Structure 1
Amino acid sequence: MLNFTAIDFETANSYRGSPCAVGLVRVRDGKPVDERRWLIRPPEPVDYFDGFNTMLHGIDSAMVEDAPRWRHVLPAILDYIDDDVVVAHNAGFDIGVIRYACAVDNIEWPEMRFLCTMVMARRALSLPSYRLPYVVESLGAQMGHHHDPLADAHGVVAVVNALAGRSGVGVLADLAASQRMSIGRMSRGIYTGSVAIGSGGRNFTPIEVNTDADPSGYLYGRVVVFTGTLMSMTRDVARQECARVGATPDQNTTKRTNVLVVGDINPAVLRPGSNVTGKGP
């Protein structure tokens, strides 16, 4: 069964942990059966609105003045999700909102399983853009106003249903497997992203740079190095994507390096007095 909860956050400013609204859609057997939309007052240290963000989603400080704080909304979100897998378009961002907002409020990360439709779309479709409205339209579906969190959550549902139909599967785990990607997991300081499955670690797939790539592309001819945990794909897959557009991926930074891509970190390591190391085992 295609049972899951779709989620989308909007943020007040450029800091990822500044949620100001959330949209959730509960799906059973591929059909939306319930929905929620809550305004949220961001955690106190990041409770301010950037004009750019307000321009995107139309939410400002006055609209959330009487809304509950993040620490009070989080339990309601978790109760609504229950045991569902959470599905988001760019789960690295939306699950990151939870992680970073919890870090600001000194709350442990909740346990959660999640799947990313942006990664899935990259695996299944060849498109010039993988922004949610473009993916929805390319699959012959429709969605409401982009950056309304509830409309975006419904857009996620449309993507899941369309890709499941194309793959001939009716279970969310089977859909992930059909696109060779993982279901991510988060719990008390542990995070594993929903990413394309490749050869992990340093056992990288041999690189063959595409000499026929578009020379006007930004990465064409550049040397790119990745470090840290990537949110939407493994480092091996990222290296292959760079080679496809004419870049040369390298394992270590040198004088030749043009682009350094820094992956995500556990924000707990940034707390004063933290005894959590940013290094993996």
Structure 2
Amino acid sequence: MIAAHGARLTVTAESIEVTYTPLLAALRRHAPAKRDQDTIRIADITDFDLDFPTEFLRGKARIATSSGTTEIAFSPNQQDQAKAFSDAVAAARSGEIPQDTAAVTGLNFVAFDVETANADWGSICQMGVARFRDGRLVETKSWNVRPPAGIEEFHPDNIAIHHITAADVADCPRVGETFTELVEFVGDDVMVAHNAQFDFTALHRAALLSDVASPEFRFTCTLLLARKLRLGFANNRLNTLAEGFKVELTKHHDATADAVACGEIMAALARRTNHRGSLIDFYHGESFTLGTLESDRVYPVLRDRSGANVALQRRKWGLDTSVASPSSAGQEPDLFTSAASNEPELASPKKTQRAPWSRVATPEEVPEPNPNADQKSPFYQQNVTLSGDFEPFDKGQLWQAIADLGGTIGKNVTKKTTIVVCGDWATKTSKQKRAEELIAKGQKIALWQAAELYTALGLDPTQPLEDEEPPF
């Protein structure tokens, strides 16, 4: 699809489909004979002209047929989208197939992957990046690195997957020492990974354990997008998608090879939906907000059916809020979708819908701490509160596991709290804010990320949901 002002455009050999965003569609309903979607047959077009948008002014395409003229507006700075639309219409009218079918105009990003030495997500031993321009691979870079001090052990299970050993990285820099190079390579590009929450949480944890500032990135996820689009493949694993899209995966579980395959898959997904334009427009148009890696935490990629949080994110980044509105409104909800897809601090759900935070609600029963727990447990005699989403685990399950290791569960953050675990959420939760207030007043509270909790409990959240598996 090609993004326009208040609409998304699909050009085929037979027709132009103009799908209006909910806001513009609502405005059009007040005019006679206006629909939420227009279809213009290529064979009926008698004339086409385009005034290109500029940095400050809108552009306009005019499509004339025997029954009238359809005008399509392009927002300021949508020159790439306007050109892509013009080229597509010209190709359709002439019956020509574009010579470069792999190109996706405006789809620029950096694909990313990490490999880890052991079960600790921060134990990065290899990173790979792949730069894409117009949906095509132009450059790659890789780093073999030593994990942060204290989590350097290479577990046999991990070695069996990626075949990287401690000896292979013995003379390499620590992972934290390579972040400057990573940031320089990425620049201002949006990033993409397969099962992105793992890769960017790994980066964040590696930074914490390396005592260096965490890089800050915006990112998308091919795994979540593939699930949403229901491609019909056996599953949505990286190697399965690569095979399905005929993408070469030269060495599965090599970070750079996986990053290249991930990027090629993202480009294939864009071509499959006829998207032209930026990765942000593509992802927002498919009803997702982007994830962000920030200095204090990782904000996940989230599904946003209402479009409110997509609009909020676009305003925050200075983007036109009419360009990318959820393209799948009215479709059945996807089973994989995170329960945190519409955060209560940003947008309230309709009363007829299941509250998106209902799955992360506090359980009723609080388990008693195990008095015979191992005193070396990190939870022994600690007062622990969980905040946010811990998919795929239920809070009740996590509570019980913590209590079995001697921890006392608290529903809220109080003056007795010693550990607050921050799960996925789009903004700081009230519990995290309360913990930070108490910390500022001198109370000793450890703020954990979900990955630290999983490591302490020996849990692996990346285990398959049905037939899925992590890409590392």
| CA deviation vs aligned residue, 1:187-225 (integer Å, no higher than 9, x gap) | 221432112224699xxxxxx9xxxxxxxxxxxxxxxxx
Matched residue SS, 2:288? coil
Contact in 2 for aligned 1:194/1:233 (Cα 8 Å): no
Of the three residues 66, 73, 96, the one matched with 2:201 is 96
Deviation at 1:178, TM superposition (A): 3.0
Report matched runs for 1:60-139 at 5 Å. Answer: 60-125=165-230, 126-139=232-245
Deviation at 1:236, TM superposition (A): 5.3
CA distance in 1, matches of 2:155, 2:139: 31
Contact in 2 for aligned 1:167/1:178 (Cα 8 Å): no
Deviation at 1:185, TM superposition (A): 1.4
Task: Give the alignment's TM-score, normalised by structure 2.
Answer: 0.45
Deviation at 1:50, TM superposition (A): 0.2
Contact in 2 for aligned 1:39/1:64 (Cα 8 Å): yes
- 2:271 matched to which residue of 1? 165
- 2:339 matched to which residue of 1? 235
CA distance in 1, matches of 2:444, 2:196: 26
| CA deviation vs aligned residue, 1:167-199 (integer Å, no higher than 9, x gap) | 111221222023211111122214321122246
Question: Which residue identity does 1:35 align to in structure 2?
Answer: T
Task: Give the alignment's TM-score, normalised by structure 1.
Answer: 0.74
Contact in 2 for aligned 1:182/1:195 (Cα 8 Å): yes
Matched residue SS, 2:253? coil
Shift of the 274–110 alpha-carbon distance from structure 1 to 2, 3 Å rule, reads farther
Contact in 1 for aligned 2:200/2:298 (Cα 8 Å): no
Of the three residues 239, 259, 270, the one matched with 1:153 is 259
CA distance in 1, matches of 2:288, 2:204: 22
CA distance in 2, matches of 1:189, 1:252: 24
- 2:301 matched to which residue of 1? 194
- 1:242 matched to which residue of 2? none
Of the three residues 173, 178, 184, the one matched with 2:291 is 184
Shift of the 250–62 alpha-carbon distance from structure 1 to 2, 3 Å rule, reads closer
Shift of the 196–139 alpha-carbon distance from structure 1 to 2, 3 Å rule, reads farther
Of the three residues 373, 391, 394, the one matched with 1:260 is 394
Shift of the 127–254 alpha-carbon distance from structure 1 to 2, 3 Å rule, reads farther
From the CA coordinates, give the structure whose radius of gyration is larger.
Answer: 2
Confirm whether residue 46 of structure 1 aligns to residue 129 of structure 2: no
- 1:228 matched to which residue of 2? none
Unmatched runs of 5 consecutive residues or more in structure 1: 202-207, 209-231, 239-248
- 1:16 matched to which residue of 2? 121
CA distance in 1, matches of 2:161, 2:448: 33
The number of equivalent residue pairs is 235
Contact in 2 for aligned 1:119/1:195 (Cα 8 Å): no
Higher mean Cα deviation, 137-146 or 168-177?
Answer: 137-146
CA distance in 1, matches of 2:229, 2:173: 39
CA distance in 1, matches of 2:176, 2:279: 30
Contact in 2 for aligned 1:167/1:175 (Cα 8 Å): no
Greater relative contact order (Cα 8 A, min sep 6): structure 1 or 2? 1
CA distance in 1, matches of 2:221, 2:125: 21
CA distance in 2, matches of 1:19, 1:82: 21
Q: Which runs of 4+ in 1 moved over 6 A?
A: none
CA distance in 1, matches of 2:120, 2:190: 25
Deviation at 1:275, TM superposition (A): 5.8
